[in-house]
Amino acid sequence: MDARYPPIEPYDHGMLDVGDGNAVYWEVCGNPDGKPALVVHGGPGSGCGTGVRRFFDPARYRIVLFDQRGCGRSTPHASDPATDLRHNTTHHLVADMERLRDHLGVRRWLLHGGSWGSTLILAYAQRHPERVSEIVINAVTSTRRSEIDWLYRGVGRFFPQQWDRFLAGAPGTPRDGDVVAAYARLMADPDPAVRERATVDWCAWEDAVVSGEAAVTNPYSERPSAARTAMVKICSHYFAHGAWLEEGVLLRDAHRLAGIPGVLIHGRLDLSSPLDTAWQLHRAWPDSELIVVEHAGHFGTDETRGHVVRALDRFATVG
């Protein structure tokens, strides 16, 4: 049973100049006088969707969504080969979130997101804990290099044929080489055919990893062409650099979240982001609650979505 609220449309939107030639798209839904909440999308480079608006009670929340640099409706778009990603890093995105908060006149806000969005939430909250009222995360990641290596190599033991194809898509890369960095180079190649082939191969691998989840079918390959290209270009750029984060820093510094209530919701069958990261974060963050959804994977199930809605409902009147 779908526990989400009915679909809603934004009552306000705009483009925010964040510097370095970038403009970030933002929109606001729900109650203008409601509790502020920021949705932080995944990817990196996926762009904000419309379905996540439905997790929030529109009568009680002022729901802010934005497209991170280079994707969605933000400009310049990473699908354009002329778009330079030098000024597109985790630290730039954290600064963009803070600039958006100030632009919208928000003092403190709840943060919600999953997958890559959870990494960005943790990075922002540890930098600006005084600006965060609560956190609700599903599909917990911290983008350690060990997590990246698992997603693009280790989990290949479950999908050996598909991983061999993924590796073959980056010719000359040894089996123990940096396949993610190789794809980042391919996505910067001047030949559009090379970039398109790399995009197709990357998305085929991502689809394989989540292929056991009944709720999804080719969620990466079936995206519109420009959105796919931007996501792969941004993903490979971020992951080739370890998201510009010291290894394990978001778990090590979880003590900075003290006093911020959090709910972590994670599927036990999540192959792309194994449960141990959520468990380690929960142990390091005393104000967090961990909910393990037994039969869910990375994209979640109706049960997962129900837990998200209930957590957001619980926080709607506090903080």
Catalytic residue positions? Answer: 115, 270, 298
How far apart are alpha carbons 123 and 131 in whole angstroms? Answer: 13
Amino acid letter, residue 244: W
Strand extents, DSSP E, the chain = 12-19, 22-30, 35-40, 61-66, 109-114, 132-138, 262-267, 288-293
Q: Which two tokens stand for residue 192?
A: 């559009």
Q: How far is CA 1 from CA 49, 252, 301, 305, 306, in A?
A: 21, 38, 10, 10, 8
Structure-block tokens of residue 245: 């984060």
Percentages (nearest 5) of helix, strand, coil residues in the chain: 40, 15, 40
Nearest to 153 by CA among 179, 192, 171: 179
**Of all helices (H) and strands (E), which one includes residue 294?**
none
Q: Residue 217, Cβ neighbours under 10 Å: how many?
A: 11
Reduce the DSSP state of residue 66 to 3 states and report it. Answer: strand
Provide CB contacts within 8 A for 297, sequence distance 6+: 210, 212, 213, 215, 267, 269, 270, 271, 272
